[in-house]
Every structure is written in structure tokens, then in C-alpha cells.
Structure 1
């Protein structure tokens, strides 16, 4: 996987608990072009690798702007960003990957929950540059937590709708009016906590939206990986199509772990099913999808599987490796 050496050029507080950082290429060259919805892997101090969405406009490849919320239940990533990173510090990142791209449509409804604003802000930039019709709904617990407030109002005006729970405007009390009677060519994009996105999705589908027009991105795995619940898992086999090698995946092991130990080259990053780096083509068999990367339609096609966390519904899964 391509990596890029960058330097933190600036850092700023973006609402309570949110820290934004601007990354520029260490050699002064332009960064790779990207489309809204893309994210990068960031190699943090201590060997951690975390995925963060690019919040800045795709029109500017001189810098990437990322924004990280400090989480109380941090697995080390957000605390490392907030406590250990400084302006001028060198970092390694991946090239951008996009599993949450804008789709063709006559109107785009962007709905963010908390730090889920980051990829949707980039989408707003791209849509505005294209002269496209869109609206952005941003749900927070309190106004003190709003990230990029000045930018949101200054650049997008009345296209932005802010909803604060402390003012009685959380997603269970106030839904975007655009969910009512969304036309067939309208698209809905969600990013935020899993429960928040599930609520908006349920409300949209109850109002006639079909799943193919609802797109989301999660920042945490929805289902636990094989570990504590391993007793409920089944053993299955994985066949490597190019060599015919067959490996047994025990209840407490992942496909990636077993194949990696056997020297099979894999592209891994988050190892939680949220980044898509390890998506692998399926030749035969039915995956038991555990990721939050693929849409319901993509999962139903069974064309790809995330080998870091997903398992198999069939006794054997043959992969294009």
C-alpha cells in the first residue's frame, strides 16, 4: 500500500473535544487527488494505525484537513492525536481511499452525527463546486461541540441546518424535512454513531426511500470480532484460488490472521471492517459479512469479503488470492 510522508502544518480546536490538523507533504509536492468521502490511514506514535476522513475540499491538494474527536473509550487513536501530536511533527499516511463516494442524483441530503461531519463537509465542498443541489444536517449534543462552525455558515449559508440535543432537536425529535417524499433521484448520506445512522435509515425507509439511495459510513465496527463470542462461531475453510491451498479458520481466528501466518499477502489496515483495505474478491461460497464498509446491496451480491473480520456461511469460501 502506498504511503506518503507528511508534516502537521497547523492544528486547531474545532468545538469541544475536536482537534483538527492540516497535513502537507514533507517534500512540498502536491498530495494525491481525492474525491469527497475519502479517508486516509494515519500512522500514529506507538505503532497505531487509524483511519480518518478528509474534511477539506477536494479542490485543494496542497493539504488534507482531518478532525479527530477525543473519545472517552479510545482504543489509543484519539488520545494519541490529542496528547502526542504537535505542529511540525512528521507522520506517515496512506494514499486516500474512498468507500463513501457521492452518487449521481438531483438532490443530496447529508446527515452528520457528531464527528461524522468530516466526510460530509468534504461532500458539501464538492457539491457546491459542482453547482449541485444539497443540504447538510448536523446533529450534536450541544452547540459547543460543533466543528467547523464558521466555515459551515460562511461557505454554505442556509444549506446548513444545525440540530442540538440540548435545545430539544436531536434526531429522535427532529428529522430532516427532506426525508419526506424524497424523489427517486435524491441521495441520502449518513455518517455518525451506528445507532444514529440506524434511526435515520429506518425513518427514511419508512418514508419510501429505498436502500440503494441511502449511503453511510461508520467509525466503529457494528458487530464484535471473533473473540469473546467465539463459542458461537463455526469452523470453516478458506481456499486460495491461485494455489488450491486450503486453510481451516477456527472459531477464535480470523481469515486474515490464518492466511497472514501462512505468508499469504493481504492488504490490511483497520482490522475492524470499517476501512475496506482488505476487501477480497469471492470466487465461490457465501460470506458472513461483519463489516460496515459494504452496502446491503453489495453484501447481498457476495462478490467481496472483508477478510479481517467477516466469516463464512458456507463450509468453504474460495477467495481470489
Structure 2
């Protein structure tokens, strides 16, 4: 494609609010063109079949992709099972990860059409994108060619904590090559997230050990949460973006700006000038750039420490190494 055509394409997608990846040297937008031409369409169809009737799966699949990429890169190591319960999926932050059946179904469909060709890492990257699109979120191009890792260790699953302060969060993301602004952007994924009262109750009932609530939370929001979460309740679910949990939009930033962030890590975004500025801009103006920003950040996330070439393998089943 001539350079002027590339520039025209970039201008067009910027207007439409979607993101086109500029492929890294090791990933390619047309990677499966010759060996499995319909790969993306197969994954899209399976994802739609699952997420269409169960919208909350979109958040689960997006979270799965994030949790996979932040540990050992985007190598599908999170999908591996261990007979000793010592794989990534057995780590405490991953015990609530769900949606594996969607990835497995997409992989199974691909194996029928193109056996041994498409990696589980690529399937997970595509499923996350297609799940977001299914609930009205932005589309982004996914360069392909990742290979699957053979190692998955529970003790390596050091993921950003919902109880983290802003300094810790910025370091977590900086260590992976993300800016503070991108931390705020990716936190916007909480617009479709849910949690359980077990993670929320310490903030609203006993924040400092004296029976108090977190002063960083809007008092009226604390009362709303107490109506839903009783002190000993650890299983009832709570929307991370009240009133907009099934739609991917910028409403999360309105909630955070009003001190209605569900987690400590959400509220902490107001404690840094750069992340606070981004939140207030999106909240005040109705999220004018959020879709494009999020798409760009997801393209970057999908390239994190990928295995390519002769590294890794193409698993026949996503839960076990070959």
C-alpha cells in the first residue's frame, strides 16, 4: 500500500473512532491469510453466540485477556491447567476469571477448519476484541502471529490489585511500558465490570479498622452499596459502573469523578494529575476520545512480550501444552 493510502486510512479510522494497528515486525494483520483465511470470522461468530445472550461475559473476556498479557506477555499461559493447582489460573486474582468456555469453543471451531494453525494466544486476543464490539464498544485491528507459551506459574501472577494506591498502579503499568494516561484509559474497562461485595465491604464498613468507610468515596454511594452489601456478604455482585454495566461507554469516568469508584484503585486515579485530568476530561465532555484511546491501548496491550517465530507452540487444546 502506498504511503499516501496508509495516511488516508489512519485519518479515516481516527474520525470513526477505531484503531488500526501498525503491525510489529513479528505480528501481521494478514498472518492467517493463506493457512486459515476465515480465522477472524470464525472467532467472531463464536464470540457473538456466547456474548450476545450473556452480556456480562464481555467484561470477563476482556479481563481474561488483560490478566494473561500482564503475566509473561500475551501467550495464553493463563489458559493452562495444572494437576497441582499451581498454574496462573490458580492464583488468587485469577480464581474469579471466567469465560474460558468461549475461548475453548472458538479454538475448537478453528481446529475443525484449520487444525494446528491458530494459536490460543491469538484466539484470546480476538475474542476480547469481538466481545467488546458485541456490546457496543470500539473495534480495533488485531495483528496476529502470537504463539502459545508452555510455562504457567501461580507465583508469577503479580497483577495490579484493586486495593493499590496510585504510586503502585503507575509502577505496575510503567513496568509493562504503559504511561499514566494509558493506565487511566485501560481502567475505563471497568465500565462493564462487576465485583462481589467481598471486595467492597472493607471500604464501606471497616476501612481503617474503626468501623468507618473510605473517605475517598462519595457518602451517598457508600449508603447505596450498604443497601446491597451486608457486612458478612461476600458473594452478591455489584456493578463497577452503576447504571451502565452492560454498555461499553465512558460513563465510568463520570462515576470516578463523582467519587463513586468501586475499588481503591479506581478512586486512586484522582490522586495523580495526569490520570485525574484524563478522567475529568472524559467525564465533562462525554468521553470524546475514549473509544479511540481504548482501542489504541488494547492494540499495545496485545503486543506485550509476545512469542513468535520458533518460540512457544500452537496448542491443540488451550488448557494443556502439546
Q: Normalising to structure 1: TM-score of the pair?
A: 0.28
* Structure with more contact order per residue of length (Cα contacts < 8 Å, sep ≥ 6): 2
Q: Per residue, is there more helix in 1 or in 2?
A: 2
Q: Normalising to structure 2: TM-score of the pair?
A: 0.28
